[in-house]
Amino acid sequence: MEFILFILLGSTIGILSGFFGIGGGIILTPLLLILGYPPSTAIVLSLLLTLGSTVTGTVSHMRLKNFHVRDALAVGLSGIVGSAVITPVVFWLEQRTGADAMISALYIVLLTWFAIQFLKPSKRKLVEGHVTQANLYKLMVIGFAAGILSSLMGVSGGFLLTPLLMGWVRFPLKQAIGTSIASATLIVLGGVTSYLASGTEAPLYLGIALIVGAFIGSPIGASLLHLFEDHFVRKSLGVFYAVVAVSVMLKVLGQETGSLILLGIFTIGLLLLFFYQKVRSRHS
């Protein structure tokens, strides 16, 4: 039963992952921490989910021609380096019971900051147009930072990659999302390898269930992206970051039930909106 529930969980998060260009760990890691899993276990399972969703998302966005392979490789390979550097730090913190608090604090700060960036009125018009190539130096710096966050927080780094690729590199939204999820595949693969080499005791069969679910959900999310305007996707991503930040705050304050309810209501609402838009597009 637990295996089936994790497949359903992976499918749900996979849909959001394919749509927003994030790996899914940004939801799963705090969720598993709320449910009482040790930080290293939550991170490994989240990375495995993320690996499934990024692989399928990459294939989908490649078909849509939303990114350049060169750019994704530059970000991904530098991300592997950052991931390898930070993994021993997580185990060191966990031995001193500091990992949970540090990870939660990082989530709250970063998610709140990105939520503000996406939700505040933009003085600059969103970049639109064809897929273009960017400066390799910028891509490598962004990738290294994303790799550190990936193995520190159990995420693909996509929630950092997408806004930085839009803001610093000035990629159009869909190219930022495509590049983010493609490069995240390499970053997450490096993170999973680092944790396995470090001797993780995470229940890997649950990770397999999450991967199976991600293979189902991620292509669905990527296919839904063209049904919505860039402005809507940007604002929705901002709300998404804000909701997850608040849920982590509630968990830190000891309100685990409220945190789970908030995540559940938001996720169900967003999935219903996706379904409504899909049905509407078929009848228009």
Q: 234 in a domain, yes or no?
A: yes
Cα atoms found within 13 Å of the Cα of residue 46, Cβ hemisphere only: 30
Q: 175 in a domain, yes or no?
A: yes
Q: 284 in a domain, yes or no?
A: no
What pLDDT sits at residue 98?
63
What pLDDT sits at residue 74?
92
What pLDDT sits at residue 165?
86
Q: Structural domain tally of the chain?
A: 1
* Threshold 0.85, pTM exceeds: no
What pLDDT sits at residue 78?
93
- Residue 211 sits in which domain range? 2-279
What pLDDT sits at residue 141?
92
Q: 181 in a domain, yes or no?
A: yes
Q: 38 in a domain, yes or no?
A: yes
Q: 78 in a domain, yes or no?
A: yes
Per-residue pLDDT of the chain (284 residues; tens, 9 = 90+): 789 999 998 898 888 877 876 667 777 887 887 778 887 788 889 888 878 777 877 888 888 888 888 999 999 999 888 888 887 777 777 676 666 777 778 778 888 887 887 888 765 555 555 555 678 889 999 999 888 877 777 666 777 788 888 888 888 878 888 888 889 888 888 888 877 887 777 888 998 999 898 888 888 887 887 788 878 888 888 898 899 889 888 878 888 788 888 888 988 898 898 888 888 887 76
Kindly report, residue by residue over 131-163, the tens digit of the pLDDT.
556 788 899 999 998 888 777 776 667 777 888
